[in-house]
Amino acid sequence: MITLVAGVALALPPLQLRVPFPTKPLFEGEQRLCVNVDGDLGIAPIEVDDGRFAVSCHSEAGRTEACMTVLADTQWPSRVPTLICPGTVRDLAITPVLAFDPTENVWDGVEILRRVAVHEAAFRVPDVPDLDGIIARGKCGVSDGYLWMKLREEPRRQVCTLVFPSGEERQVGIALVGRLQATR
């Protein structure tokens, strides 16, 4: 791939992103992970299904989206392949990294792998109503039975405070770690 800038030819390397992927299914059935990138990388719509994963990529309206679906009735992957979307402006390489266990008991604290491009995770909390959380450097809350969070990389220890309709507050400790306990 070649891009002309002021009469000089430059080859741009792929935009490489390491994104968080759960170590276990969030729920039963197909599970879909999508990454949205600001900017049109010139990726024509493509879809591929290999029996375990279905992947799709496309660019439109100033953004690029790449999605990977773990198909129903397949064993949950212990490793996830890199998804490469070829573009006319720049290729996009998405590497899903097993970064959190969605079945962790959130009241005991949770771990998220810190070596990913974005620090996002979701944990099952089936008995907690939808509500907003409070976190110093990010966002968190509960929606449809899942505690979700999006954090900054620092500090490595953070707290999401959930405020229930009754006024009760419960805290979820979050540790951004180099390696998950389950893989040590």
The answer to whether position 2 is within a domain reads no
Angle at 16 between CA 20 and CA 55, to 5 degrees: 65
Segments forming the whole domain that contains residue 122: 101-179
Q: For the whole model, what pTM was predicted? A: 0.82
What is the pLDDT at residue 12?
Answer: 80
What is the pLDDT at residue 28?
Answer: 84
The answer to whether position 144 is within a domain reads yes
Mean pLDDT by 10 residues, the chain (184 residues): 40 85 89 89 91 90 91 86 90 91 95 87 94 92 95 88 94 92 56
One domain, residues 79 and 116? no
Domain boundary among 46, 77, 98: 98
One domain, residues 39 and 114? no
What CATH number corresponds to the domain at position 92? 2.60.40
Please give the tally of structural domains in the chain. Answer: 2
What is the pLDDT at residue 11?
Answer: 61
